[in-house]
Amino acid sequence: MNRPFTERQQKILELLTRFKYLTVSQMLALNIAKHASNLRLSLSVFVDAGYIDKLTFATDPRVGKLEYFYCLTKKGVDILSEVYEPIYPSCAIKYPKSSNNHFSRDYNHRKITIDFHVAFFQWTLKNHIDVAFVDYYFDTVGANSGHERKSAPLISKNQLFIQDTYRAPDIIAKINGADRDYLFMVEMHCGYDTGRLYKQILWHAALSSAGKAQEKYNYKRGIKIYIVLEHTSMVENIAKRMQQSPELAEYKPFFLFKSLDSLKEDFFSGWMYYDGQIDNFIS
């Protein structure tokens, strides 16, 4: 492949450095191309050249054929760093460093987590907002293999510990503001299990009370948790469950809810506290 790349080719690579994994529909939402056929042609060239990997998944009997995920390979990272350094230093590029990149059991959860990042990215781009970092639960630190793994095992970058339990919020991100930075967390909820989500909220409340995330990220303020529900009915279900828990009243300002469909329509406005009050993403 000739270098440097065309504008579309560079945009594909640049967005993969940021999002780590993307489907064709997500790339179209990011305006890489107007038509899927043209985009798939560009992707196939990259796949054939070994710069991008295409992850395929078995058909899900509930929803049918699953979209492919695309991600950078080590060869793609090396080319980007070589041609466009210092714009894309290899240390800042998101790409799967493990040879085991298949995540069929986690497919939907991972996809909607990236959907949030896509919507967030578009909002920050439109409003000229500087983003310090966006870390996923599947971003890892530590060694992948060999002797180093014994001393530095591979763990989620977002891992936090409270109540004898390690958890990794789906997203931890920080905005660089003019007056102050803004650190926040995101949880993406699939399915209809209100009980499981409620336990997750209790864990976050305990985490907030102990200040563990503030300690890890050297952050002096309260941290909001944005919970995005795959199914719209779950917004009302979890709100009712939290209203029955007086012990959560003090944490009301820190939990906001929104359905995934609503998120895709309007990222910034329409976030709901559990008492029904509506607010913007940042007020």
Confidence band for 180, pLDDT divided at 50, 70 and 90: confident
pTM: 0.91
* Locus of tokens 């329509």: 265
Q: Output the average pLDDT for the chain.
A: 90
Report DSSP state, residue 99.
S
- Residue 146 pLDDT more than 50? no
What's the rounded Cα separation, in Å, for the pair 212 and 167? 12
Confidence band for 100, pLDDT divided at 50, 70 and 90: low
CA dist 35 → 32, 68, 169, 213 (Å): 9, 16, 34, 42
Q: List the one residue out of 115, 69, 86 whose CA is nearest residue 265.
A: 115
Q: How much of the chain exceeds pLDDT 70, in percent? A: 90
Confidence band for 134, pLDDT divided at 50, 70 and 90: very high
Confidence band for 151, pLDDT divided at 50, 70 and 90: low
Assign 184 to helix, strand or coil: strand
| Mean of pLDDT values over 83-106 | 70
| Mean of pLDDT values over 53-68 | 90
- Residue 163 pLDDT more than 80? no
DSSP line for 189-220 = E-SS-HHHHHHHHHHHHHHHHHTHHHHHHT--
pLDDT of residue 89: 57
Residue 21 φ/ψ region, left for φ over 0, alpha for ψ in the -120 to 50 degree band, beta for the rest: beta
What's the rounded Cα separation, in Å, for the pair 70 and 20? 8
